[in-house]
């Protein structure tokens, strides 16, 4: 691994901290998923252990995946990418380390409070007010650090990855505060239908304004670098960036199409959900044309391999998502495991793959030594790929069984036996993904700590 010439040798403490954070919390996040899946197949396995009840494990799984595994993984890459692209150092590694520590404290608080039953009961906005404050604080610290890094740049041009990182942290700080109703510390919610509208506005923006822009930022950096090729089109990056912010933010109400909310709002949500094709394809065409004919280079770098696979998953999950916003489709897909499958393609297949890709791409660069084991990283890649495809197939089948049965008058209880075997399959696949997280954290820790032999370059 040839280190790029650099007069300073930055220590990248923040990026390393986020790498470890992501790899570590991926273990607990996937374990919570595995446990929840197991409880659906064997409900008395954890009988009367209150803090392990499915209704508490599920939000722990989701919040840890979002804020423990994927977001820190993407931020690790961002903390390396920004200084590189701006030809400067991160504004303050100290502040960065404080952010990482505070982030981990917040994650511990998320697990403890949710397991103890302290929740605001709103999907994606469960955390109680003090924990919300921790999240807001880390985003504010990130904004300061990133904006100041941009201000101190020696490179006049802002590359598209920089736009995405800035927009992600700034807009998420806003929508998180809004969606969690942080001006009402006691309940963190509104009353009635307005609460649902604001919740799903925020809930969908966790993907739209946090995971997607950060993933795009990492992709825009990793793939052209790995392929040693310039970006295909500046115009497409502009189109993709601005249309993402305009379109994605409109679509949250597609979660409420079967609920008594104003029809005009549903129309906006459906139209913009279909219009998501614009930002998605602008980004993907740009990236895919950039790497055209360079699959060999992508395959040579395990980080780029993860990231490229993530872009394919992004294509699939986005087209699927646009389709799922159509009311006729939702008659079958709403309220069942189809949607759970969709979420797994998006968060594990797209954002999770890219978070891991960014992590494996930067690890050799921030440690100045090769990845501890390329084999283990490849092994993890295949386990996650099999996991995502497996979840998709199994959960989509379950969703179709449930949705079609309900639509034709079957009771929820009656079809439980027909989906049981799929719950077993899903838990088994969860075991694969959990195992891959164990392999990943071992690889990350060894990479951060091992001493390469003298002969290594």
Partner 1 sequence: MRMTLSSVVIGSLLILFAIIFIAVVLPYADTNKTVPSEIFRSRDAVEAAGRKLYIANGCVYCHSQSIRTIDWGLGAERIAQAGDYLADQPILLGSARTGPDLSQAGGEHPDDWQIAHFINPRYVRPLSIMPAFAYLGDENIKKLTAYVQSLGLKDADRRMARQRHWKIEATKAYEAGPVANVKWLHDMVPEGWRNVPNPYPTTEAGLARGHKIYQDNCLGCHGPIGDGMGPAQPWIYPPPLNFTILKDRDVSGGILYYQIMNGITGSAMPYFKRELESEKIWDVGNYVAVYFIGETDANADPRGIDASYEPQ
- In the list 167, 313, 359, 377, the residue contacting partner 1 (rule: CB under 8 A) is 167
The dihedral sign for the CA sequence 92, 94, 100, 103? negative
Site for partner 1 in 244-263 (CB under 8 A): 245-246, 249-250, 252-253, 255-256, 258-262
> How far apart are alpha carbons 91 and 85 in whole angstroms?
13
> How far apart are alpha carbons 173 and 170 in whole angstroms?
5
Other CB atoms within 10 Å distance of the CB of residue 151? 10
CB of 113 to partner 1, least distance (A): 11
Which span (22-30, 49-57, 346-354, 438-446) binds partner 1, by CB under 8 A?
A: 49-57
The answer to whether residue 63 forms part of the interface with partner 1 (CB under 8 A) is: no
- In the list 406, 431, 432, 435, the residue contacting partner 1 (rule: CB under 8 A) is 406
- In the list 3, 101, 267, 412, the residue contacting partner 1 (rule: CB under 8 A) is 412
The DSSP secondary structure of 8-50, one letter per residue, reads S----HHHHHHHHHHHHHHHHHHHHHHHHHHHHHSTTTTTT-G
- Beta carbon nearer to partner 1, 97 or 397: 397
Which span (90-98, 168-176, 349-357, 447-455) binds partner 1, by CB under 8 A?
A: 168-176
Site for partner 1 in 275-314 (CB under 8 A): none
CB of 3 to partner 1, least distance (A): 29
CB of 76 to partner 1, least distance (A): 21
- Beta carbon nearer to partner 1, 209 or 281: 209
Cα 292 to chain centroid distance, Å, stands at 26
Which span (17-25, 184-192, 355-363, 438-446) binds partner 1, by CB under 8 A?
A: 184-192
Helix or strand run (H / E) with residue 414: none
CB of 127 to partner 1, least distance (A): 13
Contacts of 452 (CB under 8 A, 6+ apart): 369, 370
What are the two backbone dihedrals, phi and then psi, of residue 330, each rounded to the nearest 5 degrees? -65, -25
Cβ proximity of 392 and 354 under 8 Å: no
> How far apart are alpha carbons 90 and 97 in whole angstroms?
11
- Beta carbon nearer to partner 1, 30 or 161: 161
- In the list 69, 103, 176, 201, the residue contacting partner 1 (rule: CB under 8 A) is 201
CB of 52 to partner 1, least distance (A): 9
Count of positions on this chain that bind partner 1 (CB under 8 A) = 89
Site for partner 1 in 107-126 (CB under 8 A): 117-123
In the numeric block, which tokens belong to residue 233?
Answer: 């089109």
- In the list 198, 363, 388, 429, the residue contacting partner 1 (rule: CB under 8 A) is 198
Q: Which of 3, 148, 168 is nearest to 77 (CA)?
A: 168
Residue 116 DSSP SS3: coil
Cα angle for residues 128, 350, 400 (degrees, 5° grid)? 85
Cβ proximity of 167 and 245 under 8 Å: yes
In the numeric block, which tokens belong to residue 82?
Answer: 């920004």
Which span (185-193, 304-312, 367-375, 446-454) binds partner 1, by CB under 8 A?
A: 185-193
The answer to whether residue 417 forms part of the interface with partner 1 (CB under 8 A) is: yes
What is the pattern of x (binds partner 1, CB under 8 A) and - over residues 422-441? -x------------------
- Beta carbon nearer to partner 1, 22 or 149: 149
The answer to whether residue 273 forms part of the interface with partner 1 (CB under 8 A) is: no
Site for partner 1 in 203-232 (CB under 8 A): 209
> How far apart are alpha carbons 168 and 205 in whole angstroms?
10
The answer to whether residue 151 forms part of the interface with partner 1 (CB under 8 A) is: yes
Cα 401 to chain centroid distance, Å, stands at 28
CB-side exposure of 406: number of CA atoms within 13 Å? 16
In the numeric block, which tokens belong to residue 34?
Answer: 């595995």
The answer to whether residue 54 forms part of the interface with partner 1 (CB under 8 A) is: yes
CB of 407 to partner 1, least distance (A): 6
Site for partner 1 in 90-109 (CB under 8 A): none
In the numeric block, which tokens belong to residue 279?
Answer: 């930002």
- In the list 189, 273, 325, 333, the residue contacting partner 1 (rule: CB under 8 A) is 189
Helices and strands (H and E) in the chain: how many: 18, 0
The answer to whether residue 16 forms part of the interface with partner 1 (CB under 8 A) is: no
Residue 154 DSSP SS3: coil
The answer to whether residue 192 forms part of the interface with partner 1 (CB under 8 A) is: yes
CB of 124 to partner 1, least distance (A): 10
Other CB atoms within 10 Å distance of the CB of residue 160? 22
Cα 371 to chain centroid distance, Å, stands at 23
> How far apart are alpha carbons 242 and 160 in whole angstroms?
11
Which span (240-248, 346-354, 363-371, 441-449) binds partner 1, by CB under 8 A?
A: 240-248
CB of 346 to partner 1, least distance (A): 15
Site for partner 1 in 336-395 (CB under 8 A): 336-337, 339-340
- Beta carbon nearer to partner 1, 213 or 357: 213
């Amino acid at each position: 691994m040839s280190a790029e010439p650099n007069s300073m040798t930055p220590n990248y403490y923040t990026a390393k901290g986020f790498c470890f954070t992501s790899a570590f919390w991926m273990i607990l996040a996937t374990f919570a998923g595995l446990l929840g899946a197991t409880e659906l197949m064997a409900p008395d396995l954890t009988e009367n252990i209150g803090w392990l009840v499915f209704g508490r494990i599920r939000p722990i799984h989701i919040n840890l995946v979002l804020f423990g595994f994927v977001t820190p993984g993407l931020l690790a890459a961002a903390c390396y990418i920004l200084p590189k692209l701006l030809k400067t150092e991160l504004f303050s590694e100290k502040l960065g380390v404080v952010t990482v520590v505070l982030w981990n404290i917040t994650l511990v608080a998320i697990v403890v409070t949710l397991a103890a039953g302290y929740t605001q009961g709103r999907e994606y906005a469960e955390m109680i007010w003090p924990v919300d404050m921790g999240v807001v604080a880390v985003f504010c610290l990130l904004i300061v650090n990133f904006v100041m890094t941009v201000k101190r740049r020696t490179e006049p041009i802002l590359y598209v990855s920089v736009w995405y990182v800035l927009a992600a942290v700034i807009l998420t700080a806003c929508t998180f505060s809004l969606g969690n109703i942080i001006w009402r510390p006691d309940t963190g919610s509104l009353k009635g239908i307005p609460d649902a509208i604001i919740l799903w506005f925020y809930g969908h923006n966790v993907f739209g304004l946090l995971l997607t822009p950060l993933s795009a930022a990492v992709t825009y950096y990793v793939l052209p670098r790995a392929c040693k090729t310039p970006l295909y089109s500046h115009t497409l990056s502009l189109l993709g960036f601005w249309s993402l912010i305009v379109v994605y933010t409109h679509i949250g109400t597609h979660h409420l199409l079967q609920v008594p909310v104003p029809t005009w709002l549903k129309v906006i949500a459906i139209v913009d959900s279909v219009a998501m094709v614009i930002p998605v394809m602008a980004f993907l065409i740009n990236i895919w044309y950039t790497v055209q004919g360079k699959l060999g280079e992508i395959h040579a770098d395990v980080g780029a391999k993860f990231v490229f696979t993530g872009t394919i998953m992004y294509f699939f999950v986005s087209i699927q998502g646009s389709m799922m916003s159509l009311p006729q489709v939702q008659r079958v897909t709403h309220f069942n495991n189809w949607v759970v499958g969709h979420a797994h393609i998006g968060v594990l297949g797209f954002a999770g793959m890219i978070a891991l890709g960014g992590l494996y791409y930067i690890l050799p660069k921030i440690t100045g030594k090769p990845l501890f084991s390329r084999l283990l990283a490849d092994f993890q890649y295949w386990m996650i790929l099999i996991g995502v495809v497996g979840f998709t197939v199994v959960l989509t089948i379950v969703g179709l069984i449930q949705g079609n049965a309900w639509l034709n008058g079957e009771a929820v209880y009656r079809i439980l036996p027909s989906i049981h075997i799929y719950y077993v399959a899903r838990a088994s696949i969860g075991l694969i993904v959990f195992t891959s997280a164990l392999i990943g954290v071992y690889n990350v820790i060894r990479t951060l700590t091992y001493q390469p032999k003298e002969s290594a370059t």
